[in-house]
Structure 1
Amino acid sequence: MIKTVLLDKFLHNRNRFDCGIDPLNNYLKNTANQQTQKDNTRTFVLQDPMENSHIIGFYTLTMVSMDAQGLPVDLQKKHRFSSAAGLIARLAVDSRYRGQGFGEWLLVDALKKLLYASDMAAFPLIVVDAKEGSGFFYEKYGFTPFHDAKNKLFITIADVRISFS
């Protein structure tokens, strides 16, 4: 059974990871552990079951201030008093493992964790900052672009809850 675990700077070989996008590679290699230690983010990795030090993929979760202005009008009204949303800040799969469904697996795992977090400390949306050209990946799973930022997408917690029920 595969599962995600928190990034461990001693166990996981971050320098081996290469998703083909330098900002994502650099974040994992140079910044993820620092941000975790400062309690700013949590980075979860999917380990290769044959070699635990090899990272198949990762995602980073945190919270973000919510600006309802880019939402459809009905959601603007519904969530006008909401101030925070869950954020999938980064999600990447090592190029060696691409095309095997790991991106979808990581996204579903991230959504489950954020759904659980929302059950503990309510927030109405999950936001993703999609890297250039990857918005279509998230749209396949029900995310909608904000009106004012095409690489920033959202899905409601209510929709995530329905999809898992």
Structure 2
Amino acid sequence: MSTVLLDKDRHDRTRFNCGVDALNSYLRMMAGQQARRDNSRTFVLPDAANESQIIGFYTLTMTPIDLRALPEALQKKHHSSTSAGLIARLAVDQRYRGQGWGEWLLIDALKKLLHASDTVGFPLVVVDAKDGARDFYTKYGFTAFHDLDYKLFISMAEIRASFAR
């Protein structure tokens, strides 16, 4: 299985339901627009039994970073950095919950961002862990920014090291 870019002609966005209205609405109404404007890219994981059905999705883009919100060691190391990769959204349809697809999608997103960082350098990946998702991300090594409990980050060095194992 592999993720593919969202294609409104191939993927049934109306059937997707992760239980969070904002994420469902984004997939249905905004993801395609944002891609056409080159603001973000949304990747979907289609069900192998029916390619039009979406198991889950994530959206990638870039985000500015406030270095003052990072631990001091990272502030010093990345003092000239201004942006990070952003996993803007990540969701799994309720029908596929409890089967490991969230972890699968996160790893896939991190691999894509790692590959992108080999071409255009950036030091961190950021997520906004709203709607109770904080524990999910901290389990995979994400750390909260000093000033925002729901905004988390992981360094590209940590990602690279975890895939090297």
SS of match in other structure, 2:17: coil
Q: TM-score, normalised by structure 1?
A: 0.98
Q: 2:64, 2:147 → 1: CA distance?
A: 16
**Matched residue, 1:5:** 4
8 Å Cα contact 1:65-1:83 kept in structure 2 = yes
SS of match in other structure, 1:150: coil
SS of match in other structure, 1:148: coil
Shift, 1:76, TM fit: 1.1
**Matched residue, 2:113:** 114
Q: 1:109, 1:81 → 2: CA distance?
A: 28
Q: TM-score, normalised by structure 2?
A: 0.98
How many residue pairs get aligned? The number is 164
Identical counterparts, % of pairs: 64
Unaligned runs of 5+ residues in structure 2 are none
Q: 2:115, 2:42 → 1: CA distance?
A: 16
**Matched residue, 1:49:** 48
Q: How does 1:75-154 map to 2 (within 5 A)?
A: 75-154=74-153
Residue type of the alignment partner of 1:113: K
Q: 1:123, 1:64 → 2: CA distance?
A: 10
Shift, 1:132, TM fit: 2.5
> Structure 1 segments of 4 or more deviating over 6 A?
none
Unaligned runs of 5+ residues in structure 1 are none
**Matched residue, 1:37:** 36
Q: 1:116, 1:25 → 2: CA distance?
A: 28
**Matched residue, 1:164:** 163
SS of match in other structure, 2:53: strand
SS of match in other structure, 1:64: strand
Q: 1:147, 1:66 → 2: CA distance?
A: 12
